[in-house]
Each structure stands twice: as C-alpha cells, then as structure tokens.
Amino acid sequence: MLATVGDRGYLADMRTQSAKSGMIVLGIETSCDETAAAVVRADRAVLGEALFSQLSEHRPYGGVVPEIAARAHLVHLDDMIRRAMQQAGLGFADLDGVAATGGPGLIGGVIVGVMTAKAIALAHDLPFLAVNHLEGHALTARLTDDASFPYLLLLVSGGHCQLLAVEGIGRYRRLGTTIDDAVGEAFDKTAKMLGLGYPGGPAVEKAADRGDPARFPLPRPMVGRPGCDFSFSGLKTAVRRHIERLPPGPIDDRTLADMAASFQVAVGDILADRCLNAMERFRAGWGGATLVVAGGVAANRHLRQRLGEAAASAGMELIAPPLRLCTDNAAMVAWAGIERLRLGLSDALDFAPRPRWPLDPEAGAARAQSLAMVDGVA
C-alpha cells in the first residue's frame, strides 16, 4: 500500500490553525544546490517555506560545482529566511529553535547554513540544532505520515543508497549500502551518456515514459544474492556499451526513450529485490511493518510503484513523502530539529560542519574491518 500525504493540508496557513501552537523551529538547508528555509510547528504544520533552486547555475557544467553552490547560498539564504518567516507571520522571538543542516554535504554550503543559523540563535537566545541531512530525509515520514518507530528506510539520492532500520531519533542500524555508485549518480551518468541533460533523474524518467523497457537487455547486479547491498556500476557500464553499439551520429528519440525505460526498470528491479531481503530481516529483527523511501530518487514514480508492489508482497506498508519533500528541503531540517528539541537535545555554537556524517557510524567501521580481513591486513 502506497501512503502519501499529497495535498491533505500539508502546507498550513498559521492563521487557520487552532489556538494551540506548540514548538516552532526555523530550518535551513544548504547542503548541495538548494538554498532553502522553512518554519515548521510541532503539530506538523509548515507555516512558511522558501526555496531557491540553483539548477540554472550548474546546468552548463553538467553537475553541481561546489564553489558556485556556496556563493549562491551566500547570496540567497538571507532572502529565503526572510520569505519563510514572512509567510509564517512570525518574528525570530516567536521561534523555539533554529536548525540547520550540519552535514553531510558540500562543505562550503554547509558552512553558510550553519553560520547563519548560529548567528540567529546567538542574537535571539535560541537553541541551535545541527541536523544530519540524512536524518532529515529519514524523519520526513514522521512529518508527513506520523510514522511510528521502528521502520525500515530506503534512502536513495545522488550520493547515497542505503537500507537502515530506524529505531528512534539518532538511532540507526544500517542493513545494506551500495558497494560502488549511488543510484542517483547512476541516473545522472546515464542521462549524461544519453545527452538528456542535468539533473539526470527527472530527465531519464520523462524519457522513459514513452519508451519500451524490454528493448535493451540490461543486467540487474546483486539481484538474487543474499544480503541487502546494492551495486549500480555494472548497470551503467552496460548502458554505455549499448550506446557504443548504436550507429554513429545523434541518438534518435525512440532509442533514447527505450534506453531510459530499460535502465529505469532495471533500477526498479534491483531496489525491489534488495528491499525484499531487507524487509525479511527487518520483520524478524525489529518486528516493524513499514517501509519508508526517502531522498531525491524517491520522487521517481516508477520506482515508487515498484517498491509499493514489493512492500505489499512482503505484507508491509510503503510510505513515500510527497514529491516536493523527496528532494532537499528545509521543512525536513526544521522537523528533525523539532524531534531533537523535544528530547531536550541541542548543539553548542562551536559545532563544526561535517562533510561526512554517517547515520550508523558503526556500520562503516564494521565494513572497513571486514574488508581488511579479506585483504589479509587484519
């Protein structure tokens, strides 16, 4: 069963709410190429939000340029905050805290957001909350659907592809990850090889809508194997080889559509297979019955449908956030701040922005130890 919020009153006007207000947090997101601010209340009402997309700045380069992204955040962040606060009809004195993505991400952009949030917190004597960007995605299902712990999370984006058991705030157990490329990266590189432009995910999905997914026989790496890890490098290589076999010259529209559809279906099969293994393990170990998909790639309609089918076959419910909350946004950052603030958690103003910040640090250490033993190092 696919559960989404859609338009069920998600973006609420503060003036139409009941007198009971609750905790209110300003969220700031600057981890990559979206400059965003949002004001969220503890009753899940998004009181105001503003976002500046930097796509036009990065499109000529075929990807995000860190220095350009950081400069754009500097130029636009103050205005995004002003707009979000104005839309909410609030002043800084009405806030209970200020949350900003503290990592992982492009460090220049993360620094811009963190320093801005610290300045607001210091000037108005408010708690400062450094939010793990990945936790923001992980907790979005609690903002939109009030998902209960524990749940299984498939986190899929340009830089991440992980399966995690979400036990609570700050408590994550990684069940699987990619052994090479993230799924979003595979979409971007496939789009680039096909000349579909940037960003690759939406471009591939649009082309795939009119394509034949059976035309090109593409591999499904890891499918049928035990475990919950992913691999997409071989799939990308297969796409490139099929393209190299085509007649010289521009690729015709039919071939573009068929290749995009073949690639997209292959990705769906891989994700479904890995999630089925994870759902079996999750139900046995945690007893939960919910699969949550989050991250930018979760906006892909075919993948959402494929995961919904897989979840239903395993007797679990799929929760997928509204499309607008799959990509990077400040509402998820504000909500993660609320979740932490309700537990009495906040961060000191000497918090250092982090380019890397795993949700399950122990998983990385365990994997490194395992690889060392295989190599005969340990």
Residue at 85 is within a domain: yes
156/135 same-domain check: no
Residue at 113 is within a domain: yes
171/120 same-domain check: no
Q: Is the pLDDT of residue 218 over 70?
A: yes
Range of the domain at 89: 2-143+326-364
Overall domain count for the chain: 2
Residue at 377 is within a domain: no
295/359 same-domain check: no
Q: What CATH number does the domain containing 278 carry?
A: 3.30.420.40
306/343 same-domain check: no
What is the per-residue pLDDT for 364? 64
Residue at 372 is within a domain: no
222/196 same-domain check: yes
Please state the pTM of the whole predicted model: 0.89
pLDDT tens-digit map of 298-309: 999 999 999 999
pLDDT tens-digit map of 102-150: 999 999 999 999 999 999 999 999 999 999 999 999 999 999 999 999 9
Residue at 59 is within a domain: yes
Domain boundary among 301, 320, 339: 320
What is the per-residue pLDDT for 371? 39
Residue at 243 is within a domain: yes
**3-class SS letters over the chain:** CEECCCCCCCECCHHHCCCCCCCEEEEEECCCCEEEEEEEECCCCEEEEEEEECHHHHHHHCCCCHHHHHHHHHHHHHHHHHHHHHHHCCCHHHCCEEEEEEECCCHHHHHHHHHHHHHHHHHCCCCEEEEEHHHHHHCHHHHHCCCCCCEEEEEECCCCEEEEEEEECCEEEEEEEECCCCHHHHHHHHHHHHCCCCCHHHHHHHHHCCCCCCCCCCCCCCCCCCCCCECCHHHHHHHHHHHHCCCCCCCCHHHHHHHHHHHHHHHHHHHHHHHHHHHHHHHHHCCCCEEEEECHHHHCHHHHHHHHHHHHHCCCEEECCCHHHCCCCHHHHHHHHHHHHHCCCCECCCCCCCCCCCCCHHHHHHHHHHHHHHCCCC
Residue at 373 is within a domain: no
98/168 same-domain check: no
